[in-house]
Chains A and B, each alone.
Chain A
């Protein structure tokens, strides 16, 4: 009865809201009794943000979204964040598989569904016979195709995102051949290595990856592994060179169920209102039509069957609650299996960096070369086999200085987090010492220095192609010496075509010119990270997930 009553109230509020939308000039809902619900959401939910206005109109609760990566957000919830009332994740199984996580979540309600799929360019899907209705492709088949070079894919980072992690779990589950939840000892190491042969476009959020994939489809990659909702949205966007054929791995589908989780007990009443709205027909149909996620209720699913055809028999991948497996898999991915990172840090050592700015930079480098064992710390930390050059600059770029993190101890079977070897500890110490030794003086030859770093990476790639190359450039001011942006652009266009595979991640700091940096990454590919309001070390940590 209560529920029915609430629905009537909602319906009334909604019809009112519909009218308002027709006349946007009218001020929205009365300001009185307005409450705010702060929602920490995983970044793949970015496309849900426009629903906030409708939620507020219907419930009077203002929903304030903040987005983060899965691991980062998981860590925040585990730490008992005071900055979120609700967490909304694509999948919370990792969070909820231990007592600490369960204790943080007071209530949960699953809102919608989207299975992870492998989207392959239609022409290639046809060429390899993957589009036949009876193909029944498993993660084992996908792994083989990656090894043969037939499948070159974009995927968000397995160490920081749910899609990436679940794909890796699918691969090891298929290789393990077990019909149930895996353990750390079951992991087939060769299968991971084979699957990752095809990993061509790396990144940490679906918006960035979709942009990169759109640019590089047909040249660098022919597939995108992501939630069905994102793949269908890309197909519908008209931006792709050709549409993607969606493969739902046979016996290995992992469906995101988007639990909306109450963290702050004091907000229970608001939480319940918003859940009721989200699970109501209006919101469910909006989510289905606008974001292509499947409704929870079968009767609503039938109404959107034209957009989201019924899936039939799709056997789900069992999720293992074994933390040893999850942590071991992530550790092994970063330190053993992934293509090792090779990057040049272009470091602004101009006079304006003196003082607090210098301190922050040194602190951030210490963080990368330190021993933070938190969920996100292990992602940020320099990994085994990684190569790193410091290229300090002021009036001109200096010579790059190399640091190389040694490989870990060899493992034969299974996965488990490894302690640092003495050799690794010593090299990390060298990195920290080098940061301590940075001296600040002179002007800012930014473009000359980025160009020098790109040239350096190109040379290195010729010598050692099996690394993931990138440039991280850090500046606190405008370019004052050497080439300007136009001259940089001309010089960049003279470089060999394959320089485009080396992204430039620009860190915006101090008095740097945002527009200039954005233009620079528009030329080179990559992304600008803003460190003016976020601590520098946190920005460096974010960049790591894109490398």
Chain B
């Protein structure tokens, strides 16, 4: 081969290699760009959250959606019953937001068994209360079942109340029952325990009232549940959605619902609606002594879930929206101010608080009551 030919050959080879190199480099750059883009997208892709109905309005709030998007933590929330959450690990959500520690512990337990990392924290909480009426509260005070704490705020002796209900006392049997001397039984209206967390908390509170302490023994729990089932059964028809008993309390009034077992947040959210949300001056709140504080628990399944948990616990704007929806946050002063502005008298310092029984025990008790009700 002569020189020029060789040179030409080399050039051809170089050209081929060069262009191959050029194209190879170029396509690598492209890939990197795409990968980078994908990484960014992954970071802002919505977090999948399985949430309790209690916090659905929070995530539906446009301001919340905007704030979370700005923090690259937009949330796509699906409403799921808290007690069904532990069975949904397979759906690989980034987080759960359960109503109550009972359900949250169940998720953690299921995650541990499945060898999945999970961390929990509670950004918001709200105590269980009994919404009632001034004349009804006065009767309970006259019978040492309740005592006034502040104007329109009462403490409710759960032990005495539970005893009176199980003794099938009627309103007219109580001392000084005045205008409310009716033959209707003294009973607290709850939602349907087969479907609703607040009714389960009512079972937890009445069982602890009978037992003198939180129930921890399975046999005892079962025995108490059998006894307490009548407090659900005797109510007759119960609304099976979360706002059921509260709707009746608000709209039909004292004649239908003298005592309604609700979350404090329901009342405070209502009070903050336009025009006072139709709250009437004779409405009062009674705090069971002791009561249970229902925690909204976020169970994070990964790093982004943990970031969201942290944001919910620290971001002032998000907390302000939670307050607007009636929840208590880590800031008691802000809560007190919110209630005051809404014109709702609340007990800001909850003096006596207990935990519900452990989740497996609690579910056994719920099952017992459900079986009795289905008979």
Q: Given A113-B251, A298-B279, A316-B255: A180 and B184 within 8 A (CB)?
A: yes
Q: How far is the CA of A320 from the CA of B238 in the complex (A)?
A: 9
CA of A1 to CA of B59, assembled, Å: 11
> Distance in Å from the Cβ of B222 to the closest Cβ of chain A?
24
A interface residues (Cβ-Cβ under 8 A, vs B): 1-2, 5, 93, 96-97, 102, 108, 110, 113, 177-181, 251, 253, 255, 257, 296-300, 311, 313-316, 318-321
Determine if A251 and B184 form an interchain contact, defined as CB atoms under 8 angstroms apart. yes
A179 touches B170 (CB 8 A): yes
Known: A5-B62, A179-B171. 19 other contacts (CB 8 A): A2-B62, A96-B237, A179-B183, A180-B187, A180-B235, A181-B235, A251-B183, A296-B250, A298-B250, A298-B251, A311-B253, A313-B179, A313-B254, A313-B255, A314-B253, A314-B255, A315-B255, A316-B255, A321-B236
Contacts of A316 in B (CB 8 A): 252, 255-256
Known: A1-B61, A313-B179. A299 touches B236 (CB 8 A): no
Determine the chain A residues whose CB is within 8 A of the CB of B248 once the complex forms: 257
Known pairs A2-B61, A297-B278; A110 contacts B237 (CB<8 A): no
Closest CB in chain B relative to A482 CB, distance in Å? 56
**B residues in contact with A320, CB < 8 Å:** 236-237
A125: min CB distance to chain B, Å:
22
Given contacts A1-B61, A251-B182, A313-B179, contact A181 B255 (CB under 8 A): no
* A102→B276 CA distance, assembly (Å): 32
Residue pairs across A and B with Cβ atoms less than 8 A apart, 27 shown, are A1-B61, A1-B62, A2-B60, A96-B240, A177-B183, A178-B185, A179-B182, A179-B184, A179-B185, A180-B234, A180-B235, A181-B237, A251-B184, A253-B255, A255-B252, A255-B256, A296-B251, A299-B275, A299-B278, A313-B254, A315-B182, A315-B184, A315-B255, A318-B235, A320-B236, A320-B237, A321-B238
Most buried by A among B61, B63, B179, B275: B275
Residue of A nearest to B254 (CB): A313
Q: Check A93/B237 contact, CB under 8 A, given A297-B278, A298-B278, A299-B276.
A: yes
Q: How far is the CB of B338 from chain A (nearest CB, A)?
A: 18
* Size bin of chain B's contact surface: 35 or more
B371 to A: closest C-beta gap in Å:
14
Docked complex: B246-277 residues within 8 A CB-CB of A = 247-248, 250-256, 275-276
Does chain A have a CB within 8 A of B359? no
Asked whether A298 lies within 8 Å of B280 as measured between CB atoms, the reply is yes
- In the complex, residue of chain B having the shortest beta-carbon distance to the beta carbon of A301: B278
Q: Smallest distance from the beta carbon of A466 to chain B beta carbons, Å?
A: 34
**Interface code B25-69, partner A: CB below 8 Å = 1, 0 otherwise?**
000000000000000000000000000000000001111000000
Q: Does B363 sit within 8 A of A, measured CB to CB?
A: no
Of the residues A2, A96, A102, A110, contact of B247 by C-beta under 8 Å = A110
Nearest-neighbor residue (CB-CB) of A297 within chain B: B278
Using known A-B contacts A97-B237, A299-B275, determine if residue A257 contacts B252 with beta carbons closer than 8 Å.
yes
CB neighbours of A97 from chain B (8 A): 237
CB neighbours (8 Å) of B179 from chain A are 313
A93 cross-chain contacts in B, Cβ below 8 A: 237
How many whole Å from B215's CB to the nearest CB in chain A?
Answer: 25
How far, in whole Å, are A462 and B193 apart by their CA atoms in the complex?
Answer: 57
Bitwise interface map of B from 319 to 354 toward A, beta carbon under 8 Å scored 1, else 0 = 000000000000000000000000000000000000
Q: Which chain B residue lies CB-closest to A138? A: B183
Q: Is the CB of B278 within 8 A of A319?
A: no
In Å, the complex CA distance between A297 and B252 comes to 10
Nearest CB on B from A322, distance (A): 8
Contact (Cβ within 8 A) A110 B251: yes
Q: CB-defined interface of B226-249 with A at 8 Å, one 1/0 digit per residue?
A: 000000011111111100000110
**What separation, in Å, do the CA atoms of A178 and B230 have in the docked complex?**
14
The complex places the Cα of A127 from the Cα of B234 at a distance, in Å, of 39
